[in-house]
Amino acid sequence: MFWKFDLNTASHLEALLDQEDVSLSQLLEEDDVLQECKAQNRRLLLFLCKDQSMQELVRLITTEPPTGVEETKHPNIACELLTCDVGLINDKLGNEEPLLESLYSFLEQPPPLNPLLASFFSKTIGNLIARKTEQVLNFLRRKEGFLSLVLKHIDTSAMMDVLLRLISCVEPPPLRLDTLTWLNEEKLAQRLIELIHPERDEERQSNASQTLCDIIRLSRDQANQLQELSQPDPLLTVLESQTSVEQLLQNMFSGERTESCIVNGIQVLLTLLEIRRPGFERSYLVNSSILLAIEPHLKHFHQLLLEPPKKSPVLTSLGMLEDPLGNTRLHVARLVASLLYTSSSSHAVVAQELCRLNTMDLLLDLFFKYTWNNFLHLQVELCVAAILRPCAHEMRLQPILSSQDKSQQSSEEGPQELSGALTTTRSTLDQPENSAHNLLMSHVSL
């Protein structure tokens, strides 16, 4: 029965290809057309790679169907055929500039884009970036407004994937560095930061924030894997600079302070402050310029804990909550916890400002006010744990001697040895990291 079914199916597709006037739409109606394409059916591939067929496939994934027609089967199959990683199709689509122009024309449509078609476009252009890298990159670099068009449609999540493909799917490493340099010259990082602004719509802010976070993580991961490259990642260098962080913070606190802008901005800051990612053994050393840029704005974050954006009362299982904690205050708590865990010589500056503002006191007040908010409790617990944990320098030191130990050691060692040991201990405890720890410890103990 199986062999009979298989032969009949194959013969039906072959019978269609035998017809001189067979159309692409007829082939797309066949259930096994995608399977036969992946199986390298020669006659089918030759038909699909005809100029007329390829133009029709591209048209299906980039053009809205006529009004009132809800046709998704053919565009979906067309996308699968174009991205099934068959050499003949990749070569045809990647080497023919008219086909690339037809594909690129999708970006030139006025917003908003059809989300389904945008996903087809993103998948197709992403496959070409990975398989026909040089040809596609040369084509895109000749388009002066390419990045402007992508950012214009960034409220469609598929456009994020296009940018991330350019960063993560370009090989070999020298070509990837060349691509990153081009994106940096086009000021991709700065333009994404500009989109995190109270005047922008929430979807645009959210996607811009997520793109920046993904760029930071991808760049750091690839920098670890490709340590033989002497040149740093230009995009990561810009994003970790004090100027970029200051610009992000200025956007967050300019004009009306909206929850969307604050939360999305903090998401980027949290990513910049990550010292270790799950599944990665290596820790990152946080650039001190990030902390220096954040420190002057700690008073603004503290004020958000006092006066967050207005929230409507929320009905909970315990009754009506008139003053909800809100996502803004929760993210500020996450930021404070991350700052306290960040090990840097600039840590003392951040710690001093947090103590001056009494931010920990305020977080502890919120801890007891919102007794059922486990998310807040976790962040406050992390803050306290970060303060109580010994610094790396203290962990390498012997504990300060008790009076009994001192007398015992003084009898065994000469006064010069004991004096030298105590001097070393004092000088090490006076280092910025340890002074920050001591300052926070004394503040929490009050």
Residues contacting residue 384 through CB under 8 Å, at least 6 positions apart: 444
Chain-centre distance for alpha carbon 333: 20
**Per-residue model confidence (pLDDT) at position 422:** 36
User: Are the C-beta atoms of residues 375 and 327 closer than 8 Å to each other?
Assistant: no
| CA dist., res. 396 & res. 383, Å (int) | 23
User: Are the C-beta atoms of residues 320 and 314 closer than 8 Å to each other?
Assistant: yes
**Per-residue model confidence (pLDDT) at position 319:** 75
**Per-residue model confidence (pLDDT) at position 230:** 62
DSSP 253: T
What the block records as the tokens of 225 is 């894997």
Q: Which secondary-structure segment (H or E) carries 119?
A: helix 115-131
**Per-residue model confidence (pLDDT) at position 408:** 47
User: Are the C-beta atoms of residues 185 and 141 closer than 8 Å to each other?
Assistant: no
**Per-residue model confidence (pLDDT) at position 373:** 92
User: Are the C-beta atoms of residues 138 and 94 closer than 8 Å to each other?
Assistant: no
**Per-residue model confidence (pLDDT) at position 446:** 53
| CA dist., res. 235 & res. 83, Å (int) | 29
For 325-368, write each residue's pLDDT tens digit: 999 999 999 999 999 988 544 467 888 899 999 999 999 999 99
User: Are the C-beta atoms of residues 265 and 206 closer than 8 Å to each other?
Assistant: no
**Per-residue model confidence (pLDDT) at position 410:** 44
Domain coordinates of the chain in residue numbers? 296-306+323-395+425-446
Q: Rg for the chain (alpha carbons), in Å?
A: 29
User: Are the C-beta atoms of residues 134 and 96 closer than 8 Å to each other?
Assistant: no
What the block records as the tokens of 160 is 């994020």
**Per-residue model confidence (pLDDT) at position 276:** 61
The pairing of beta strand 314-316 with beta strand 319-321: antiparallel
Handedness of CA 53, 56, 61, 67 (dihedral sign): negative
For 92-118, write each residue's pLDDT tens digit: 999 999 999 999 999 999 999 999 999
Q: Which secondary-structure segment (H or E) carries 316?
A: strand 314-316
Cα separations in angstroms, 233 against 26, 173, 210, 344, 409: 49, 11, 19, 22, 53
DSSP 398: P
Residues in the chain predicted with pLDDT less than 70, given as ranges, are 1-11, 67-70, 226-230, 276-284, 343-347, 390-446
The pTM score is 0.84
